[in-house]
Chains A and B, each alone.
Chain A
Amino acid sequence: MATATLEIWRGDATGGEFKEYTTELTEGMVVLDAIHQVQAEQAHDLAVRWNCKAGKCGSCSAEVNGQPKLMCMTRMGDLPTDRPITVEPMKAFPLVKDLVTDVSWNDEVKKRIKPFKPRPPDFEDGSWEMHQSDIDRVQEFRKCIECYLCQDVCHVLREHHMHDEFIGPRFLVYNAALEMHPLDTEDRREDLRKSQGIGLCNITKCCTTVCPEGITITDNAIIPLKERVVDQAYDPVRKLIQLVTGR
């Protein structure tokens, strides 16, 4: 029976270390299966958050061999087993225990974003007319499962700890889903520029690279939002045209 060696981070906010566990491999096994096997057979107190095991709940986010990944979607067979596989918690959030981090900061950020504000209904029955071609763009953003891997890999949060100044890629995507919605009438550009720190994103596309849902975060959400902020704050010609034409 083939085996793999896992180096799993064990500890809490006060400190910790990598501990080595060797476990048997079975066909089709994912990292989360291996972690559960270690938990069942060797480390009963190993803390790990998980739920759906299908890549849809976004609970089992961690760093596997230094790369932010969903443990349930990372096959052991795709990882090199000639050396230990490291599994550690996300770095952008406070550690609770072992592989579990406190991601509640994200919930607080979400509350700060102006909610959906639709235009008055188009019809007497309270419904609106929308066309699929206009909805396609925002539907991409609604695939987000809030695993926060993009927040974890974003160096503004991970390395610079600028959680007070920057809302991170996840919530720029959330803003984009609202801001580009064909029914929405709210204007979030001032918030994006002033309190949500869109200018801090320097477009390294790490968030796009790690997104398990394949959302093109940088090109389809962040850069279009940056362009909308330019419209509002940094384009004097557009300002002049708006002043003259009133549009």
Chain B
Amino acid sequence: MASGTTTSLPVRGSFGQTMRADNWWVQPVLVALGLGVAVLYLNVAAFLGEYYAFGNYLSPLYSPEIFGDTPHALFGPKPSIWPEWLPWSPAFLILWAPAGFRLTCYYYRGAYYKAFLADPPNCSVGEPRQSYLGVWWKPTTWNEQSFPLIMQNLHRYFLYLALLFIALLSYDAWHALWFIDPATGEETLGLGVGTLVLTLNVILLGGYTLGCHSLRHLVGGGLDVLFDKPVRRTAHACVGCLNKRHMLFAWMSLYWVCFTDLYVRMLSMGIWTDWRIF
């Protein structure tokens, strides 16, 4: 309140204090579980460093395979300069980019501030700390204009990388249409369940990436007048359309990436068999 005000605001509520009669805790618990399970799976899959390719299929967690031991590797095996003491996985070279894109995503920010920092636990529900986003041993006011949360403003740079990944994963989906004929050794057009899994993966990731708030701003949202710019006006409308379903695509794409990796992994380990449609 402005200085000199004589009236006082109501006393702050304690953690979880609310008059809400609904199960307000369900949403943050589900988000915490949903994100926690996905992050755990992605970390385990990245650290394993093997069973990530099967024939013409490549797990999206390892694409592009810059260095690696499969035929998909762009520049051959692990570089010799990689320190022996440092764990190695081809995924380490690339996963930071999509991880950064999701970590700085406007939707995920709101979701994990609620689910993991309880700031707030849910709307109209008391918080565990009086300080804003501070921790109990260091009450402070964090915001997205000071370190470390100022890094959230890098979102548009991660977007540029994410768009590049969409192109690369689209190539992987295309590549998943071409199977090596064991008899002739030649590539022939085919369609396996894995092809559909990889294709749906890039569609969902595309829906998520192309609905990004930063992209919406960059294609036209940053301008006040779009009337005389039909291409940007259309692009702004299209991104806005996907943006309305940003949360849906965020969750679907996150879990489909995990499933796509699992599918390729199970094929590679010989546990599942890829069914060829033709």
Chain B neighbourhood of A165, CB < 8 A: 141
Note all chain B residues with C-beta closer than 8 A to A179.
224
A91: chain B residues at CB < 8 Å are 9-10, 124
**CB-CB < 8 A to A218: which residues of B?**
110
CB of A40 within 8 Å of the partner chain: no
Cβ proximity bits B210-233 to A, threshold 8 Å, 1 near / 0 not: 000110110001101111000001
Number of interface residues of A (CB under 8 A): 62
Residues of chain A within 8 A of B243, CB atoms compared? 219
B227: chain A residues at CB < 8 Å are 131, 133-134, 182
Contact of A38 with B by CB under 8 A: no
Interface 1/0 per residue, B194-217 and A, CB below 8 Å? 000000000000000000011011
Majority SS at the chain B contact face: loop
The stretch of A24-32, A51-59, A196-204 that contacts the partner chain: A196-204
Is A234 part of the contact surface with B, judged by Cβ < 8 Å?
yes
Cβ-defined contact, A94 with B8, below 8 A: yes
Chain A, Cβ-Cβ closest to B11: A91
Q: Is the pair B119, A202 in contact by a Cβ cutoff of 8 Å?
A: yes
In the complex, chain B residues 1-23 whose Cβ is within 8 Å of any chain A Cβ: 1-3, 5, 7-10, 12-13, 18-21
Q: Contact check, B141 vs A134: say whether CB atoms are below 8 A apart.
A: no
Judge whether A228 and B222 touch: CB under 8 Å.
yes
Residue-wise interface mask of A (156-196) relative to B, using a CB-CB cutoff of 8 A (1 in contact, 0 not): 10111111110000000000000111101000000001000
Residues of B within 8 A of A206 (CB): 120, 123-124
B145 contact from A93, A193, A237, Cβ within 8 A: A193
Instruction: Please measure, in the bound complex, the distance between the C-alpha atom of A13 and the C-alpha atom of B8, giving whole angstroms.
Output: 7
Residue in A67, A80, A164, A223 whose CB lies within 8 Å of B106: A223
Question: In which size bucket is the chain B interface?
Answer: 35 or more
Whether B21 lies near A202 (C-beta < 8 A) is no
B156 within 8 A of A: yes
Given contacts A134-B227, A204-B113, contact A159 B12 (CB under 8 A): yes
Which residues on A sit within 8 Å (CB–CB) of B120? Answer: 155, 159, 204, 206
Residues of B within 8 A of A223 (CB): 106, 213
Contact present for A200 and B143 (CB under 8 Å) = yes
Taking A13-B7, A209-B123 as given, write out 13 further A-B residue pairs in contact, using a Cβ cutoff of 8 Å, ordered by the A residue number: A66-B18, A80-B21, A94-B1, A131-B227, A153-B123, A156-B132, A159-B13, A161-B1, A161-B9, A200-B141, A203-B107, A227-B213, A228-B217
Give A residues with C-beta under 8 Å from B: 13, 63, 65-68, 80, 83, 86, 88, 91-96, 102, 105, 108, 131, 133-134, 153, 155-156, 158-165, 179-182, 184, 193, 197, 199-206, 209-210, 218-219, 223-224, 226-228, 230-231, 234-235, 237
